[in-house]
């Protein structure tokens, strides 16, 4: 059954506009990017932990722009890890299986951790390859 | 069921990335810094599960249902299955003397280290005879199990505050865990039933940091119970504008206006429903058109009708309701009107009638 069949339509109350909470985040990002360059240390901002309205988020996304790489991860719902126009700055959104956003981050890293394969998983992969080779 | 958690999860088809993603979200929900997600994932993946003894007392098994079956199969459920759950009557295969023996062994082998989970309240009337397991009263078993526990987690409103069994006139003399256990750290996870992820959050925190999360004055994890439903309710702008649904099928209800006048207890209820939602984030009570019942607060069952608007201050749900109500002119008017009604209502516990619903 879809929600459309429920005769209550929830009218979103007028979109609250910009709060002014987004611009300081750009400064913080600059610090984070510098730190990444100097020490290689990755970091992240948890967007759901901040009082940001949808308008704030749009503003931020718009400012950061779209980069060359977009990664889609299918793991218990879809996640997208999109590089912004600033290389090393990634916009990360996690959805659950119902498609709802469960958390949202801006990650500063050369490659987000989630994208890298874990050595233990690579081992499992190599075992599988060995199996394939032995069947040749 | 030995070996690190991640291997067991992998056997169930949960990949490392799924788990990492889950931990990132969990850390975010718990208002921990983003780096904590990684730390949690690492600590939990490698964790040898602590022994957990779960004692069900005067309860309806709704709490167990909420956690293990919220929707199939959740990581919450899996983490739960995979904890070394040495005693849980509903989930364990053993029964009778075997089950009681498993409990005794777990308590002996892990003395001082196991986590004790309790759901249900504990009846004290007639020496606890109202609820017994294997011929022993709940109060007796609780005292014995708590003595050797590292910490006690009270799951659900009954274990946390006495819940429905304690509701007026409390025929069995039901009390909460914290009424009886005084010398152990206790975490209350109230709700009728509680939100599954809160449970996992507390466990994750314990496994990662070796400690319990920060608690509020009622022993609830601050990260999940720090705000009221009303603080985070998406209908809040309507409340602020004084737009209230007056019946369940009027124009206001159809427009999704605030449910305050239909008895919503959101302003005095601390829980995470408005942000975490229910059924895997599908919806939650207010979103489906019904006010909050206040199920995660002490004595919610005795707060008068679920369909009477809160008065300011609300009684006996006497929280800082006054503060929440001030600010909306309409809200204040309601509260005054309601106080008059309250005064005429002599009974402390009002039964909800059809007329209340049709108000
Ligand atoms: S009174 Fe209830 S419905 Fe209205 S804004 Fe508060 S929590 Fe939401
Ligand atoms: S909305 Fe209120 S009554 Fe409903 S589950 Fe959440 S806290 Fe309990």
Domains belonging to chain A, first-starting first, are 15-134 (3.30.1370.140)
Does residue A5 carry a pLDDT above 90? no
B227 HSE (CA, 13 A, CB side): 16
Alpha-carbon gap: B275 to the closest alpha carbon of chain A (Å): 9
Whether residue A1 has pLDDT greater than 60: no
B295 pLDDT above the threshold of 60: yes
Considering only CA atoms, which of B50, B43, B274 is closest in space to residue B153? B50
Residue B11, chain A, CB below 8 Å: the answer is: no
Give yes or no for a contact between B6 and B82, defined as CB atoms under 8 angstroms apart. no
pTM: 0.76
Domain ranges of chain B: 5-225, 229-302, 320-358
Among the listed ranges B182-196, B212-226, B342-356, which one has the minimum average pLDDT value? B342-356
Closest residue by Cα to atom 5, ligand 1, is B236
Which residues lie closer than 8 Å to B15 by C-beta, 6 or more apart? A75, A121
* CATH number listed for the domain at residues B229-302: 4.10.480.10
**Beta-carbon separation of B281 and A100 below 8 A:** yes
The CA B332 to ligand 1 mean position distance, Å, reads 14
Give the pLDDT confidence of B328-353 residue by residue, as tens digits: 333 333 333 333 333 333 333 344 44
Q: Which atom of ligand 1 is nearest to the CA of B229?
A: 7
In degrees, rounded to 5, the angle at the alpha carbon of residue B21 between the alpha carbons of residues B150 and A2 is 110
Q: Is B24–A43 a contact, with Cβ atoms under 8 angstroms apart? A: no
Pick the CATH number of B5-225 from 3.40.30.10, 3.40.50.300, 3.60.40.10, 3.40.50.700: 3.40.50.700
pLDDT band at B321 (very low <50, low <70, confident <90, very high): very low
CA–centroid distance for B116 within its chain: 16
Per-residue pLDDT reduced to its tens digit, B96-107: 888 888 888 888
Contact B275, B324 (CB under 8 A): no
- Min CA distance, A122 vs chain B (Å)? 11
* Residue B217: Cβ-neighbour burial (10 angstroms; 0-12, 13-18, 19+): exposed
Q: Where are the alpha helices (DSSP H) in chain A?
A: 23-39, 54-64, 119-134
Residue B13 confidence class, pLDDT cut points 50, 70, 90 = confident
């Amino acid at each position: 059954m879809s929600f459309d069949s429920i005769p209550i339509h929830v009218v979103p109350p007028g979109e609250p506009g910009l709060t002014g909470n987004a611009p300081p985040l750009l400064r913080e990002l600059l610090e984070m990017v510098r730190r990444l360059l100097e020490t290689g240390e990755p970091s992240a901002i948890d967007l759901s932990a901040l009082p940001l309205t949808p308008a704030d988020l749009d503003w931020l996304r718009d400012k950061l722009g779209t980069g060359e790489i977009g990664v889609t991860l299918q793991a218990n719902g879809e996640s997208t890890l999109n590089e912004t126009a600033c290389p090393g700055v990634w916009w990360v959104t996690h959805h659950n299986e119902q498609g709802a956003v469960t958390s949202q981050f801006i990650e500063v890293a050369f490659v987000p951790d989630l994208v890298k394969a874990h050595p233990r998983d690579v081992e499992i992969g190599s075992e599988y390859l060995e199996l394939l080779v032995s069947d040749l | 069921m030995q070996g690190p958690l991640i291997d067991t999860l992998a056997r169930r088809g949960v990949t490392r990335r799924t788990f990492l993603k889950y931990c990132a979200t969990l850390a975010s929900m718990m208002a921990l810094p983003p780096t904590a997600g990684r730390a949690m994932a690492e600590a939990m993946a490698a964790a040898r599960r602590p022994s957990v003894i779960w004692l069900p007392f005067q309860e309806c098994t709704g709490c167990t249902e909420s956690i293990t079956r919220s929707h199939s199969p959740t990581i919450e459920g899996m983490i739960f299955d995979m904890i070394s759950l040495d005693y849980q009557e509903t989930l364990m295969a053993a029964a009778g003397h075997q089950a009681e023996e498993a409990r005794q062994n777990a308590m002996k082998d892990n003395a001082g280290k196991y986590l004790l989970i309790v759901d249900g309240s504990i009846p004290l009337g007639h020496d606890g005879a109202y609820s017994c397991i294997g011929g022993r009263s709940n109060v007796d078993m609780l005292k014995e199990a708590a003595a050797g526990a590292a910490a006690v987690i009270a799951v659900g409103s009954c274990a946390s505050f006495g819940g429905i069994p304690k509701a007026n006139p409390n025929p069995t003399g039901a009390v909460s865990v914290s009424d009886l256990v005084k010398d152990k750290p206790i975490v209350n996870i109230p709700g009728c039933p509680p939100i599954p992820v809160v449970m996992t959050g507390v466990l994750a925190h314990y496994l990662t940091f070796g400690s319990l999360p920060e608690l509020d004055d009622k022993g609830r994890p601050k990260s999940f119970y720090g705000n009221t439903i009303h603080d985070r309710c998406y209908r809040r702008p309507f409340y602020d504008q004084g737009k209230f649904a007056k019946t369940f099928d009027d124009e206001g209800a159809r427009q999704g206006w605030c449910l305050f006048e239909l008895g919503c207890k959101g302003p005095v209820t601390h829980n995470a429903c408005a942000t975490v939602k229910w059924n895997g984030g599908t919806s939650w009570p207010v979103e489906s058109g019904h006010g909050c019942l206040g199920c995660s607060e002490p004595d919610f069952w005795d707060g008068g009708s679920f369909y009477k608007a809160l008065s300011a201050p609300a009684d006996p749900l006497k929280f800082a309701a006054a503060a929440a109500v001030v600010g909306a002119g309409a809200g204040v008017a309601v509260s005054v009107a309601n106080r008059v009604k309250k005064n005429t209502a002599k009974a402390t516990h009002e039964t909800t009638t059809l007329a209340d619903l049709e108000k």
